[in-house]
Structures are given as structure tokens and as C-alpha cells.
Amino acid sequence: MYCDRVHKKITICKQMSIGQSMPTKQITEYFNFLSSEDIRLKDSRIGIETILYEYIDCGRSPEEIAQIYQTISLEQVYATILYYLQNKETVSAYMKNWIEHGHRMREQQRLDPPPVSEKLRQLRIERQATQQG
């Protein structure tokens, strides 16, 4: 299974680091826990939900994700996946809350669009009327 390969790669990387007497990090050292609803990769504005969405929902490999988000390292991507695998229940709830929050915000915006959206809509209607007339 793919998850098993990811876990094995991270384990091998850690073993290589130990063998080369490089310091290893605790998994939580890769993240900033800003709140229970906001976990981000250290030295980044990218939340774990972004990486996990690419990995779980889009089926992208860690290497593909690191190429898409060039401000983070492949090691950070693997750390995020490992954190998810080690804390599946908690992170799954985190992801569910993130998705639900996104749905609520889009619905709120649909029901009460910002003034600029309404202005753009009016301009589009006027342009279409001018083109037809």
C-alpha cells in the first residue's frame, strides 16, 4: 500500500540520518500549532490541510506535492503525511472541520456577496446588454 511505502521511506530517511549522525526531529517539530483548527508547516503559511488534500483527495505523490508547493521541502511533505498516519482520527476530524468550514464560508458568500462581487455582476450585465444591442 502507498501509505506503507511512505512510512518506510520516512523510516529509512530517519535511519540514514542517525547513521550519518545527523539530528532527527520529533514529528511535531515540523509544525506550528496555531490553534486546534490551524496547523501549519513551520516557516510556511501552508496548512497541513493543503498538503493532505493533495495527497488524500487528489492522489498526488509527496514528490509531486513538493514540486507544486516549492516553498516547502519534500521532508516537510513526508512529515505531514506521517503526522496524519500517526494521528489519523484527530487529523481526519481536523480535515472534516476544514471542509465544512469552507462549505459554510462559500454559502455565506453566496447569500451575502461582497460589494465588489455585486459591482462586477452589474458590469457584466451592462457589457452583455451593450454587446447585444
pLDDT, tens digit (0-9, with 9 covering 90-100), for 53-90? 999 999 999 999 999 999 999 999 999 999 999 999 99
pLDDT tens digits, one per residue of 7-60: 555 554 444 444 444 456 799 999 999 998 899 999 999 999 999 999 999 999
Q: How many domains, in total, are found in the chain? A: 1
Cα dihedral 60, 2, 34, 98 in deg (nearest 10): 60
> If DSSP codes are grouped into helix, strand and coil, which group holds residue 55?
helix
Confidence check: pLDDT of 1 > 80: no
Domain extent, residue 39, equals 2-132
The pLDDT value recorded for residue 9 is 53
What residue type is assigned to position 88 of the chain?
K
Extended beta strands in the chain, E state: 31-35, 38-41
Which cell numbers in the block locate residue 128? 452583455
CATH of the domain at 127: 1.10.10.10
